[in-house]
Amino acid sequence: MCKTRILIADRRPKIRFALRALLKRQAGLEIVGEARDAGDIEEQIGIARPDAVLLDWRLDDLYMRDLLITLRKTCPRLYVIVLSGRPEVQPAAVAAGADLFVSKIDPPDRLLAAIGTVQRMQAALPSLAQGPQGTDASG
């Protein structure tokens, strides 16, 4: 099985560091980049072609619903796991298009379980002759 490529998007360097430290010890995962704001996400997705993004719900002043809509249009096969210290935003995050939600106050195992869910969803997709993010690999 291929490694799941993950982009970490959080406005706080300490959170990005902690997430990277947790995830780099996990088999089957590859951290392909970090983003500190919406502009970074778009740039990193274009460069790194992640399978999933860990997205801080309060990344910047951009309306998160708009960001999720943009991500869905440009990268329809990208899995989005929204992270927030406020569990009450889960319904809004899911309604906006997040695949999964994890509270930052949950134990780390909760995030690892969510990533495991993404890996199972990836494995269940039919293998098409396509490259990352649904682009045609033949050019």
Q: Which fold has domain 4-125?
A: Rossmann fold (3.40.50)
Domain boundaries, the chain: 4-125
Q: What is the pLDDT of residue 66?
A: 84
Mean pLDDT of the region 20-49: 91
Among 10, 17, 27, 15, which residue's Cα sits nearest to residue 82? 10
pLDDT (tens digit, 9 = 90+) per residue, 80-132? 999 999 999 899 899 888 999 999 999 999 999 999 999 998 888 765 434 44
Q: What is the pLDDT of residue 54?
A: 97
For the whole model, what pTM was predicted? 0.85
